[in-house]
Chain A
Amino acid sequence: MQTALRTSLPDTELATRANFAPHARVVREERPVQTSGLPLSIRGLRKSYGDNEVLRGIDLHIPAGQFVAIVGKSGCGKSTLLRLIAGLEKFDAGSISLGDAVKPEDIRVMFQEPRLLPWARVLSNVEVGLGRDRASSDAHSRAEKALTEVGLTDKRDQWPSILSGGQKQRVALARALVSRPRVLAFDEPLGALDALTRISMQRLLERVWRDQGFTAILVTHDVAEAVALADRVLVIEEGRIAHDVVVNTARPRQRGSAELAGLEGSILNHLLSADDRT
């Protein structure tokens, strides 16, 4: 069963938004102009741990460059799906295809924990992200560029332990970005951050996604975050994709707008009603 919720923006809404933040209304395209992203096709994907059937047939197509959010109850298999996509684990049945021949550097994952090497300076941590290109002569300059993108140039020679949680996560983002990945998978990357840092990180994620045009897959507990960032929100229930919700709202999006709140409400309802049934 797949439901598509499409909502269009009422004119009155547009007007109030324009009054609210006149400078923020830069007209941009819905999708990045030229996408470097890879399309992702998943057919009949199954995965179990012992008797625990976690994924029971996932069918999914993600067009190149789309920003997809995945939500669902805790333990429903979101992380498992992400790990399968990233090739960190083997699946039992089905297929995952990522278009043309992919290099390992094309897919990057970001976790809830930054996973920085405490004994390497910030810049070397970013260089780790270059994969096999680590030894190349432009490694330094590429890492520096990635640090600039996340706004942490001044921290390049610091040890990670002096950074704040949000800064560490930005370094992790720079490390993920430095190889110019074509698919970027996030497993609750902002889960451990405070509300304000979270919002600025969400903006950063959206910006780099727009600039670089990778295909983004974001697992999150926060439905508001999902509707604020994604083109499309997938709800996983009982090992399948139970709902596939398209978010058509133009970007940049107004956080807390009635439209997004409405979408958020209806997705939460799906999640809660599933909870009642069990």
Chain B
Amino acid sequence: MSLIDSVSLPRSLRLPRVDGLVQWIVPLAIIAIWQVASVTGFVPTRVLPAPSDVLLAGWKLLLSGELARNIWVSFWRASIGFLIGGSIGFAFGLANGLSQLSSKLTDTTLQMVRNVPHLALIPLVILWFGIDESAKLFLVALGVFFPIYLNTLHGIRTVDPQLIEMGRIYGMTDGELFRRVIFPGALPSIVVGIRFALGIMWLTLIVAETIAASSGLGYMAMQAREFMLIDVVVLSILIYALLGKLADSASRVLERLTLSWHPAYWKR
């Protein structure tokens, strides 16, 4: 997936120098059209407030400190949930990719659990944990677990067996073989898993915070809906989009750092 969209275009097809700016033309144009449509009354502000109103709402919330607090809470939940679910998924992926026994013991079970949409567990999770932090962390961790587990497992299982044989011939110990051959070989797949997981992380958090929370961006949006503050609702949605983009950029940086050897990541 990420391998395909990162194949670089031939030189002649690229616009020189403005590369970094080009991608912002369309979003900026959309915002401009939106502003004009709102100001002229073509789109009623009841339906969609003008970008300037959204900005203003954001400014007010920022001044009151509410915005920063909610973003921080959401960000914290997302990261901790991701860390927990991601490390468990990674650990199971490693274990099942490396050990037949472990794979036989747990893989079938995990594949079965995977077929349950994790958001379907929300009612159950609320019964278990109420609406406190652990409910959200649990859901995020569960959502993040599977893409990381599956991609780690797949990455390890598809490491070129000829390279593994080479490592053995050259006298690598199990630890060295893992460090020098298996892990780097599985890394492209693991990174793809991380990118998927980041998407799922936000999605899960939005849903969980919208349904059961007393703080965070999703809660802020729900509160605003109760008081008909549509500008704050739109603001929350935009912030989610920004945070999602941020997570994606972070994973791209990760890709560049760890996969610099991969020809698909060159010249970008």
A128 interface contact, C-beta 8 A: yes
Could you tell me if B184 and A161 are in contact, using CB atoms closer than 8 angstroms?
Answer: no
Measured CA separation A138–B170 after assembly (Å):
18
Q: How far is the CB of A80 from chain B (nearest CB, A)?
A: 15
Identify the 4 closest CB pairs spanning chains A and B, nearest first.
A131-B171, A119-B184, A115-B166, A119-B261
Q: How far is the CB of B180 from chain A (nearest CB, A)?
A: 7
Interface flags, A141-172, vs B, CB<8A=1, else 0:
00000000000000000010110000000000
A75 interface contact, C-beta 8 A: no
A65 interface contact, C-beta 8 A: no
B174 interface contact, C-beta 8 A: no
A91 interface contact, C-beta 8 A: no
Question: Using Cβ atoms and an 8 Å threshold, which residues of chain A touch B132?
Answer: none
B30 interface contact, C-beta 8 A: no
Could you tell me if A131 and B165 are in contact, using CB atoms closer than 8 angstroms?
Answer: no
Q: How far is the CB of B155 from chain A (nearest CB, A)?
A: 13
Could you tell me if A86 and B169 are in contact, using CB atoms closer than 8 angstroms?
Answer: yes
A117 interface contact, C-beta 8 A: yes
A-B contact pairs, 5 of them (CB 8 A): A115-B165, A115-B166, A119-B262, A128-B166, A131-B170
Binding site secondary structure of chain B: helix
Could you tell me if A109 and B180 are in contact, using CB atoms closer than 8 angstroms?
Answer: no
Could you tell me if B162 and A113 are in contact, using CB atoms closer than 8 angstroms?
Answer: yes
Residue of chain B at shortest CB distance from A121 = B261
Interface flags, B170-193, vs A, CB<8A=1, else 0:
111000000011001101000000
Could you tell me if A129 and B170 are in contact, using CB atoms closer than 8 angstroms?
Answer: yes
Q: A88-B165, A111-B162 are in contact. Are A118 and B171 (CB under 8 A)?
A: no
Measured CA separation A257–B24 after assembly (Å):
68
Measured CA separation A161–B267 after assembly (Å):
14
Question: Using Cβ atoms and an 8 Å threshold, which residues of chain B touch A6?
Answer: none
B interface residue count range (under 10 / 10 to 19 / 20 to 34 / 35 or more): 10 to 19
Residue of chain B at shortest CB distance from A113 = B162
Measured CA separation A119–B261 after assembly (Å):
5
Could you tell me if A118 and B162 are in contact, using CB atoms closer than 8 angstroms?
Answer: no
B163 interface contact, C-beta 8 A: yes
Residue of chain B at shortest CB distance from A111 = B162
B16 interface contact, C-beta 8 A: no
Could you tell me if B163 and A117 are in contact, using CB atoms closer than 8 angstroms?
Answer: yes
Question: Using Cβ atoms and an 8 Å threshold, which residues of chain A touch B171?
Answer: 104-105, 131-132
Q: A104-B171, A128-B170 are in contact. Are A115 and B162 (CB under 8 A)?
A: yes
Could you tell me if B180 and A117 are in contact, using CB atoms closer than 8 angstroms?
Answer: yes
Residue of chain B at shortest CB distance from A160 = B261
Measured CA separation A118–B172 after assembly (Å):
17
Q: How far is the CB of A139 from chain B (nearest CB, A)?
A: 13
Q: How far is the CB of B191 from chain A (nearest CB, A)?
A: 13
Could you tell me if B263 and A161 are in contact, using CB atoms closer than 8 angstroms?
Answer: yes
Measured CA separation A6–B138 after assembly (Å):
79
A120 interface contact, C-beta 8 A: yes
Could you tell me if A120 and B165 are in contact, using CB atoms closer than 8 angstroms?
Answer: no
Could you tell me if B169 and A161 are in contact, using CB atoms closer than 8 angstroms?
Answer: no
Question: Using Cβ atoms and an 8 Å threshold, which residues of chain A touch B185?
Answer: 119
Measured CA separation A123–B169 after assembly (Å):
18
Interface residues of B in 118-169 (CB under 8 A from A): 162-163, 165-167, 169
Question: Using Cβ atoms and an 8 Å threshold, which residues of chain A touch B165?
Answer: 88, 115
Could you tell me if A159 and B166 are in contact, using CB atoms closer than 8 angstroms?
Answer: no
Interface flags, A82-100, vs B, CB<8A=1, else 0:
0000101000000000000
Could you tell me if B261 and A118 are in contact, using CB atoms closer than 8 angstroms?
Answer: yes
Measured CA separation A129–B181 after assembly (Å):
14
Question: Using Cβ atoms and an 8 Å threshold, which residues of chain A touch B170?
Answer: 128-129, 131, 175
Question: Using Cβ atoms and an 8 Å threshold, which residues of chain A touch B187?
Answer: 119
Residue of chain B at shortest CB distance from A161 = B263
Interface residues of B in 249-268 (CB under 8 A from A): 261-263
Question: Using Cβ atoms and an 8 Å threshold, which residues of chain A touch B262?
Answer: 118-119, 161
Q: How far is the CB of A159 from chain B (nearest CB, A)?
A: 5
Measured CA separation A109–B162 after assembly (Å):
12
Question: Using Cβ atoms and an 8 Å threshold, which residues of chain B touch A86?
Answer: 169
Question: Using Cβ atoms and an 8 Å threshold, which residues of chain B touch A128?
Answer: 166-167, 170, 172, 180
4 new A-B contacts, CB < 8 A, other than A117-B163, A119-B262, are A105-B171, A117-B181, A117-B184, A128-B180
